[in-house]
Structure formats: structure tokens, C-alpha cells
Amino acid sequence: MPSPRSSTLQLNENGRLRHFLTIEGLRRELLLQILDTAESFASLPGRPVKKVPLLRGRIITNLFFENSTRTRTTFELAEKLLSADVINFNIDVSATAKGETLLDTLRNIEAMHSDMFVVRHGQSGAAHFIAEHATQRVSVINAGDGRHAHPTQAMLDMFTIRKHKGDFTPLRIAIVGDVLHSRVARSQILALNTLGVSEVRIVGPRTLLPTEARSLGVHVFNELAEGVKDVDVVIMLRLQNERMNGALLPNEHEYFQLYGLTDERLENAKPDAIVLHPGPINRGIEMDSAVADGPRSVILQQVSYGIAVRMAVMSMAMQSQADLEGEA
């Protein structure tokens, strides 16, 4: 069930997006607004003049306590295309490495007059904590926190799916792999169900699926062939080796033999099914290179669409802040 706390924290009194921390608690109409806004930005990278002045004079600070080249790069590019001034907080040399608390870090960054924090952190709930303790004039965007949520990744996946499939309602979608440790999968499931798809499936070995899976509104499959049968979209997940504890898998080779996506196994899906992956891909483990580079793969398009979706989210959050400033 959606958390009232999440919804209240993320939206201002007019129902506009103030923070973007999780898909949980957000209405379908708001998710569609994000997708529609992203559509208006999607063609920018191909234009001679790529920038728009929407966030000119705004300061955005990227607080990445956890490495992610792809997410950080697309956020930074999105910020610059919106004409914002960008600060990349160097965690390696920051006082956090010397014992400074997250709240201490927050107060110091606020003193630099930032308007928005983009936060990536290894601890679940870190982005929520910062949003709860930040001053009213700061918006917070969650770029991934622990095993909890990765909402902008989920929304760029939704954008990719809509680009290729149109209406969400009739779609069957399979999410394959390490769902248990995946913040991306949790956000995808919430988004897909909120957008009203016909069926969401999760596919993988029992050791890599959450015990509360059925309560998430999904159908559970332990065999790949059956799990992707007649689906419109296959979303492959990266094996979250850095988040695993204990011997949840015999070995990566056996995982590929049972759950790696090949052209032959993809034949069980619909003929026009598309394949997504949040990246980076472990080739020969999660999928074969023939699939990753094949005609049904939209993985590189996901990366491109991620810029537009992040522009949409940040511009919407800053509009909410502008409303607040106008009332002051």
C-alpha cells in the first residue's frame, strides 16, 4: 500500500512534485505528467542549441555517496541542459570520510545556497532523511538509496516502454533476475502497477526473489521460459553482487544457464517484445551479447531517455519551489 508519509513529503500543498524520493504514494496522473514533460525534452540533444533556460540561476548539488558513472553523468548533463549551475560534491575528500554525520554534511551544503540536492547513497532511506531535514527552499531527488528505491531509473524505463508500446494497459511485463537486492525493480513494480499494466511478473531463483513478492502485486515465476512467455517487455536486472550476503547462487555460470537471456529464450516472448536493462550489463551472465546488441534491445535508448526524464523531474520540482517563493 502507498505510504501517506511518502506522498505528503514529496508533494507541496498544491499537489505539485516538491521532492522525488520514491514512486510509492504518487498518483498515476503525476507519473504521466513526468512522462509528458520528458517528451518535451527528448529531442533537445539532437538540436543545434541544446540548452533551455528553465533553471538558469539555480544551483544543483550532486551528492553521490556511492559510485555510479552512468547515473551521475546523465544527471549532470540534464542539469546543464536546464542551464543550472552544478556542484559535484567530492565524497572521497569530504569530512564524511572523517566521521561527519549525514546531517552535518547537509547543513554544510545548505550553507552554499543550493536549490536542489541529487542524492545517491548506499543506505536505504538516506534521501528521505535529507528531505525531511532540509530547509523548505531545497528540493531533493533520489538517485538511488540502498535497496529501497531508484525512481528516476524506473521512470526512464516507463518512458522507454511508452515510446515503443504506447498504452500501458494491455502490457505484460517480466522483470528477470535479482529482484531481492534491486532498488530499481522495486521502483519499476510500483510504477508499472500505478500506470495500470495488465500483468507484472518477476522471474528468478527463489533465493533472489523477495518473500513478500506476491503482496507487491506481481506474479512469481522461477523458470525463465515460463516467466517470459507471451510478454511484451522483458526487463533484465544486474546481479547485485555488492549487495549480496551469503551463497545465494551456486555460481554465475549456472545462473546464466538457467536465467541468462538468449535469443532462443527470448522466442518465448511476443515477436515484437523489447528488452531493457538498467546497466551496466554483465554479458554472459544476465544476457547474451546477441540479445544486448540485437534488434529487440532498447538499452542504449534507455540511457538517452534518462536525460529527458531527469530534466523533467528536476524542472517540475523547481517549479514547485518557484511557487513557494512566489508566496513568500
pLDDT tens digit string along 67-113?
888 899 999 999 999 999 999 986 654 555 555 688 888 888 888 89
Sheet hosting strand 219-221, strand order edge to edge: 219-221, 199-203, 172-176, 233-236, 274-276
Pull the grid cell for residue 244.
Answer: 549480496
Burial of 169 (C-beta count, 10 Å sphere; 0-12/13-18/19+): exposed
Domains of the chain from N-terminus onward:
4-149+304-327 (3.40.50.1370), 151-298 (3.40.50.1370)
User: pLDDT value at position 44?
Assistant: 82
Tens of pLDDT, residues 13-43: 889 999 999 999 999 999 999 999 999 999 8
The proportion of the chain whose per-residue pLDDT surpasses 70, expressed as a percent, equals 89
User: pLDDT value at position 144?
Assistant: 95
Q: What is the pLDDT along the chain (328 residues), one digit of tens a residue?
A: 344 456 679 999 889 999 999 999 999 999 999 999 999 999 887 788 789 999 999 999 999 988 888 899 999 999 999 999 999 986 654 555 555 688 888 888 888 899 999 999 989 999 999 999 999 889 999 999 998 999 999 999 999 999 999 999 999 999 999 999 899 999 999 999 999 999 999 999 998 999 888 789 999 999 999 999 999 999 999 987 654 555 567 678 888 999 999 999 999 999 999 999 998 899 999 999 999 999 999 999 999 999 999 999 999 999 877 766 665 5
Reduced to 3 states (helix: H, G, I; strand: E, B; else coil), residue 286 is coil
Reduced to 3 states (helix: H, G, I; strand: E, B; else coil), residue 229 is coil
User: pLDDT value at position 61?
Assistant: 95
Question: CA 8, CA 4: separation in Å to the nearest integer?
Answer: 6
- The angle that helices 299-327 and 28-41 make with each other, rounded to 10 degrees, is 110
Question: CA 21, CA 145: separation in Å to the nearest integer?
Answer: 9
Q: What phi, psi does 288 have (nearest 5°)?
A: -80, 150
Please report which residue ranges of 211-298 form alpha helices under DSSP H. Answer: 224-227, 252-259, 263-266, 289-292
Please report which residue ranges of 195-241 form alpha helices under DSSP H. Answer: 224-227
| 272 closest CA partner among 158, 193, 179, 172 | 172
Predicted structure pTM score: 0.92
Alpha-carbon torsion 52, 322, 73, 42, what sign? negative
